Chain A
Amino acid sequence: MMDIRDLYQEVILDHSRRPRNFGRLADANCEAEGDNPLCGDRVHIYLRIEGDRVTEARFEGRGCAISMASASLMTDMLRGLALDEVRALFQHFHAVVTHGESAEACDWIDLDKLNVLSGVREYPVRIKCATLAWHTMKAALEGKRTPVRTE
């Protein structure tokens, strides 16, 4: 059995205590809201896209340590990525939280940042906490107007 600290790694606790990129992005041109009705977690993702590149990413929201850390880590990673890289990163993230690691090699970004979230795979009811920000970000890119729901 995993130790509880494999889920609550220091990086996760640090990001949840001091979330990076927290707060509204005034000149966002792409945004979406998501919520997890099961636990009341809410997140609002703001992106600034210029050409085919994310130039700024921020978020607002409230929720558990996992959901806040995931949003914080994600917004950190998104800045500067091309949109097709964002989509590839989403796939990597998905693999990490469901299988523990991504089978695909990746040479354009450090996937270790994602790996700190791999602990959630042992906690099926908590996976949605980790995925909320990512699905909301995806919905923002796809221009969805209705809030994302994890249920």
Chain B
Amino acid sequence: MTDKAAAVRFDPVRARQDFPIFRQPIYGKRLVYLDTAASAQKPRQVIEAIKHCYEAEYANVHRGVYYLSQRASENFEAARETVRSFINAREGREIIFVRGATEAINLVAQTWGRANLTPGDEVLISHIEHHSNIVPWQMLRDQIGCVLRVAPVDDDGALILEEFERLLGPRTRLVAITHMSNALGTITPIAEIIRLAQARGIPVLVDGCQAAPHMDVDVQALGCDFYVFSGHKLYGPSGIGVLYGKAALLEAMPPYQGGGEMIASVTFDKTTFAPIPHKFEAGTPHISGAVGLGAAIDYLRGLDLAAMREHELALMRYASKRLGELNSVRLFGTAADKGAIVSFDVTGIHPHDVGTIIDREGVAVRAGHHCAQPVMDRFNVAATVRASFGLYNTFEDVDALIQGVRRAQEVFAG
């Protein structure tokens, strides 16, 4: 089956109509949004759910005995259940609502990490992590003297599994690794990584920011210990994200922030903490955010997910092929297993200049280091242009990207 034929089962043009942002032209042109890896656009269903939350069912959660508070609490917990089933966690209490994946990783570093690591213990990450899966471990290293180890990738941007395995040593206490690279699109062999680590008794945290919107995630099948992702990359609102953790681990971890909502009882002498998940949800949570995230997941589930993913991959392959045919374009991230992200540069034109010129054609791409500077260093570039695809993108969007790159080449040719 050809890529275009595969895409027929999923109709992005129809899906696109669910996203109000595409109604407006940008610089008088049709919006071609190719920055879903940074943040996805929102379907009307999500926007409506948030609006309804505030207009009809809003109050603080887990407190009031009155009708609205009960409705709000039910909706908030229903969203937790939606997330649970989306990633197939065993129990709802294994789903912690946080601000985003960044907060989730910081939470694990500062609670599980501080409680379990001693000087000389090692945290193993990979060379293709987002800064949010590097910096929290460096901060922990500086606090307690643990060691950060980095598993290398090959010239295609694929994790070198043998090297990874070799780095699993007697002092390795945690593997923290991406499921799919935001800068290159590389999909890591996550099941194998988890198997290798857990065979040595080492827990694994998976950064699922890019994977959750584009791949099937089943945390029980994976067996990972922690899985984190952000709502806004999953067509949901910003400011809400998810930390999944195995219940036994979460229960043994000290709380992250102290405050209301996370306590069982408080006196000036002693506080007893609430059971999970509330132990990790101090303060009034992002109620409408959780509701919006639940709506986003419901929206996705209403689509033919398998066909949608095939369509996104077809776009990625088509874009790689078309870009590869252009003069002076280099692709970064050419691993056999990769998701709907294409990273490239154009000889003689800085990625920011490419980004500015194609923006005027209505094409939104990311130009920069993608919060993954070590990846840029690995490929000896300061920055790349990144086009990332979502369910609303079409082959026509890829053609617009190619046209934009040609335009940049024309402008720079003088």
Contacts and interface: CB of A to CB of B under 8 A. Distances in A.
A, B: real partners: yes
B360 interface: yes
Contact of B382 (A13, A40, A65): A40
A66 interface: yes
A8 B383 contact: no
Interface in B91-141: none
A66 B411 contact: no
B54 interface: no
B368 A8 contact: no
Given A40-B369, A40-B382, A4 B352 contact: no
A13 B383 contact: no
Contacts of A129: 352
A76 to B, nearest CB: 20
A15 to B, nearest CB: 12
B357 A10 contact: no
Interface string B7-29: 00000000000000000000110
A108 interface: no
Interface string B398-414: 00000000010001101
B155 interface: no
Contacts of B412: 8, 13, 65
A69 to B, nearest CB: 11
Interface string B32-48: 00000000000000000
A77 B18 CA distance: 54
Given A8-B411, A40-B376, A40-B383, A1 B27 contact: yes
Chain B, interface residues (CB within 8 Å), range: 20 to 34
Contacts of B357: 4, 8
A38 B356 CA distance: 15
Contacts of B353: 8, 64-66
Contacts of A123: 356
A4 B411 contact: yes
B59 to A, nearest CB: 39
Contacts of A64: 350-353
Contacts of A40: 368-369, 373, 376, 382-383
Chain A, interface residues (CB within 8 Å), range: 20 to 34
Given A4-B411, A13-B412, A13-B414, A39 B383 contact: yes
A4 B382 CA distance: 24
Interface string A37-65: 01111000000000000000000001111
Nearest to B348: A17
Nearest to A66: B353
B414 to A, nearest CB: 6
A39 B368 contact: yes
B349 interface: yes
A38 B352 CA distance: 11
Contacts of A7: 356
A24 interface: no
Contacts of A1: 27-28
A86 B412 CA distance: 31
A65 B349 contact: yes
B356 A126 contact: yes
Contacts of A145: none
Contact of A63 (B350, B367, B411): B350
A74 B353 CA distance: 20
B360 A4 contact: yes
A1 B52 CA distance: 38
A4 B353 CA distance: 10
Contacts of B368: 38-40
A71 to B, nearest CB: 13
Contact of B352 (A10, A13, A17, A39): A39
Nearest to B383: A40
Interface in A120-151: 123, 126, 129
Contacts of A41: 382
Nearest to A3: B360
Interface string B366-404: 011100010010000011000000000000000000000
Interface string A1-42: 100110110100100010000000000000000000011110
A65 B360 contact: no
A126 B383 CA distance: 15
B55 to A, nearest CB: 34
A65 B414 contact: no
B38 to A, nearest CB: 13
A66 B360 CA distance: 17
B334 to A, nearest CB: 22
6 contacts: A4-B407, A8-B357, A13-B412, A13-B414, A40-B376, A129-B352
Nearest first, the 8 A-B pairs at minimum CB distance are A64-B350, A64-B352, A40-B382, A65-B353, A64-B353, A4-B360, A8-B411, A39-B352
Given A64-B350, A66-B352, 20 more contacts: A4-B360, A5-B411, A7-B356, A8-B411, A13-B414, A17-B348, A38-B368, A39-B367, A39-B369, A39-B382, A40-B368, A40-B369, A40-B373, A40-B376, A63-B350, A65-B350, A65-B353, A66-B353, A123-B356, A129-B352
